[in-house]
């Protein structure tokens, strides 16, 4: 009962914070979607962290450490390296968006390439890629609340109620509400994860070193890279692949557009990699669970952190853990849905009518938030893969934007709008095909060395994208010049 009361109290507090953030703010499109471009370094940092440290970090990261072992470190590595790239990448994106008053990722591509059609395609890709990630958040929300309430709240009820909360404060307060909730979320998740990551190995093994000693004695394979599948080749290629896709997400563009100035990103790039160390404690929790809650297989490995917490702590602290986990779903979930709604409205539905008043776009965007949320809920209730597998699908889709984005930031862009459009479409089609049939390079190229077969399958559509982009750009540069599509 006490765990349920704590979860309820934090849920109500989250709603209150989210709704009150609207006070004295006129919610026009720019203020609702990008906070009036007025956020300082702290808010941009917390908003960005709110997108990064999600239910995947909370459940999927520990679950991956539990089932796959040390290869889970890839999460830490790719996020830290992505922050390094932000020092150079985000100021360029912010400057261009600020000069042209852009409010969405699709606006950026459409303006850079002078192509409304490309803007529509980018928006479609963004919306399609976002849905699987929203599914991760809602699925994680249901798991966390159901378990930490000791079954008092069924998973489906938790998903529905959480989705309603997201809809309410997102529609009312927009990105400002999300930013204020991110403050609460980041403080809570930092305190809970660091405490658990230090306390649990000491409690069960006498220390972190002793924990590794005991795992090495019982399951040594978890502490080394295997010779097949999750090999060193897989690790390096997956880190690189995720770094390329990290800043391609529409909600990352939206949070970037909220900043007051470009210096904000360089400050954040310096301190953010340190914050990534929090994920080390997530891995410690997953490894602690290996010998303490054995027998979790397949999708159930995502439950390692919660099962260990319920075995170890009193119900009141389990409620605190559940509340922190709940926030890891609510903050990124709402940011994702807002970004998708803005893309759907401004860059798809009204793409044919660029002079549509901002007020009309804002109203329809707010209406689209619950529509997309309901669609995501339906996917959650269909069941599905482990969180890491769902994340891979989303990244494989959104990373198709990176060749055109990087090219657009060059002084002399070698890519034409026709090339960008063709490359993205080819990459997306191949991604959908290989995801539908759960293909890997090992299944496509049987008999090749593991140094090739274990490369992340996401590179296959990405390489095809780059080739098509360059070839079509070469063919159309002289023939079509700068004609708009």
Q: Does residue 475 lie in a domain region?
A: no
**Mean pLDDT (whole number) for 117-143:** 91
What's residue 49's pLDDT? 65
- Contacts of 182 by beta carbon, 8 Å cutoff, 6+ apart: 46, 47, 49, 50, 331
CA–CA distance, 448 with 317 (Å, rounded to integer): 51
Average pLDDT, the chain: 90
Instruction: With cut-offs at 50, 70 and 90, classify the pLDDT of residue 478.
Output: low
Contact 274, 285 (CB under 8 A): no
Asked if residue 22 has pLDDT above 80, the reply is: yes
Q: Does residue 423 lie in a domain region?
A: no
Q: Does residue 420 lie in a domain region?
A: no
Contact 116, 343 (CB under 8 A): no
Q: Does residue 396 lie in a domain region?
A: no
Q: Does residue 320 lie in a domain region?
A: yes
What's residue 443's pLDDT? 86
Q: Domain range for residue 223?
A: 2-390
Asked if residue 188 has pLDDT above 60, the reply is: yes
Asked if residue 468 has pLDDT above 50, the reply is: yes
Phi, psi of 344 (to 5 degrees): -60, -40
CA–CA distance, 432 with 111 (Å, rounded to integer): 27
Beta strands in 296-353 (DSSP E): none
Q: Does residue 359 lie in a domain region?
A: yes
Asked if residue 167 has pLDDT above 60, the reply is: yes
Asked if residue 386 has pLDDT above 80, the reply is: no
DSSP helix/strand/coil, 64: helix
Look up the CATH number of the domain holding residue 348: 1.20.1730.10
**Mean pLDDT (whole number) for 38-60:** 77
Alpha-carbon Rg of the chain, whole angstroms? 22
* The total number of structural domains that make up the chain: 1
**Mean pLDDT (whole number) for 394-409:** 93
Which helix H or strand E contains 204, and what residues bound it? Answer: helix 155-205
Asked if residue 10 has pLDDT above 70, the reply is: yes
Return the higher-pLDDT residue of 240 and 444.
Answer: 240
Contact 94, 256 (CB under 8 A): yes
Q: Does residue 434 lie in a domain region?
A: no
DSSP string, 218-237: H-GGGGS--SSSSSHHHHHH
Least trusted range by pLDDT, from 40-54, 258-272, 291-305, 439-453 = 40-54
Q: Does residue 427 lie in a domain region?
A: no
Q: Could you tell me which of 278, 295, 270 has the C-alpha nearest to residue 86?
A: 270
Q: Is 262 exposed, middle or buried (0-12, 13-18, 19+ CB in 10 A)?
A: middle
Two structure tokens written together for 98: 């600020």
Least trusted range by pLDDT, from 48-52, 287-291, 454-458 = 48-52
What's residue 51's pLDDT? 65
CA distances from 126 to 97, 244, 333, 394 (A): 18, 15, 14, 9
Asked if residue 64 has pLDDT above 80, the reply is: yes
**Mean pLDDT (whole number) for 464-475:** 96
Which helix H or strand E contains 460, and what residues bound it? Answer: helix 459-480
The reported pTM is 0.88
Q: Is 232 exposed, middle or buried (0-12, 13-18, 19+ CB in 10 A)?
A: middle
């Amino acid at each position: 009962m006490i765990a349920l009361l704590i979860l309820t109290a934090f849920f109500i507090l989250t709603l209150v914070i989210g709704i009150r953030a609207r006070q004295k703010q006129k919610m026009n499109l720019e203020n609702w979607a990008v906070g009036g471009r007025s956020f300082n370094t702290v808010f941009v940092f917390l908003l960005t962290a709110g997108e990064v440290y999600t239910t995947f970090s909370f459940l999927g990261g520990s679950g991956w450490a539990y089932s796959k072992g040390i290869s889970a470190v890839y999460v830490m590595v790719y996020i830290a390296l992505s922050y390094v790239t932000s020092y150079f990448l985000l100021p360029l994106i912010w400057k261009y968006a600020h000069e042209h008053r852009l409010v969405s990722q699709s606006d950026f591509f459409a303006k850079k390439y002078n192509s409304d059609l490309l803007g529509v395609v980018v928006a479609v890709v963004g919306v399609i890629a976002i849905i699987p990630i929203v599914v991760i958040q809602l699925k994680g929300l249901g798991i966390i609340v159901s378990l930490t309430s000791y079954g008092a709240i069924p998973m489906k009820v938790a998903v529905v109620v959480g989705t309603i909360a997201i809809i309410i404060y997102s529609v009312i307060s927009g990105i400002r509400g999300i930013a204020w909730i991110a403050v609460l979320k980041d403080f809570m998740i930092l305190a809970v994860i660091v405490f658990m990551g230090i306390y649990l190995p000491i409690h069960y093994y006498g220390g972190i070193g002793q924990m590794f000693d005991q795992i090495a004695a019982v399951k040594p394979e978890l502490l080394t890279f295997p010779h097949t599948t999750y090999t060193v080749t897989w690790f390096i290629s997956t880190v690189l692949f995720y770094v390329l896709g990290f800043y391609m997400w529409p909600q990352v563009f939206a949070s970037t557009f909220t900043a007051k100035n470009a210096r904000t990103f360089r400050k954040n790039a310096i301190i953010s990699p340190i914050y990534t160390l929090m994920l080390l404690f997530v891995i410690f929790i997953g490894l602690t669970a290996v010998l303490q809650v054995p027998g979790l297989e397949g999708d159930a490995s995502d439950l390692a952190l919660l099962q260990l917490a319920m075995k170890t702590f009193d119900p009141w602290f389990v409620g605190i853990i559940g509340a922190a986990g709940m926030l890891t779903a609510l903050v990124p979930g709402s940011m994702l849905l807002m970004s998708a709604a803005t893309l759907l409205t401004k860059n798809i539905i009204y793409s044919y009518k660029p002079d549509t008043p901002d007020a009309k776009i804002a109203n329809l965007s707010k209406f689209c938030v619950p529509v997309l949320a309901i669609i995501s809920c339906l996917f959650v209730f269909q069941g599905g893969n482990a969180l890491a597998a769902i994340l891979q699908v989303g990244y494989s889709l959104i990373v198709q934007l990176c060749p055109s984005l990087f090219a657009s930031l060059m002084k002399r862009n070698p890519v034409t709008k026709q090339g960008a459009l063709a490359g993205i479409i080819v990459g997306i089609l191949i991604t959908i095909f290989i995801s539908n049939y759960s293909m890997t390079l090992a299944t496509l190229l049987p008999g090749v060395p593991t140094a090739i077969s274990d490369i992340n399958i996401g590179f296959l559509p990405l390489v095809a994208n780059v080739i098509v982009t360059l070839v079509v750009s070469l063919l159309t540069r002289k023939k079509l010049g700068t004609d708009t599509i």
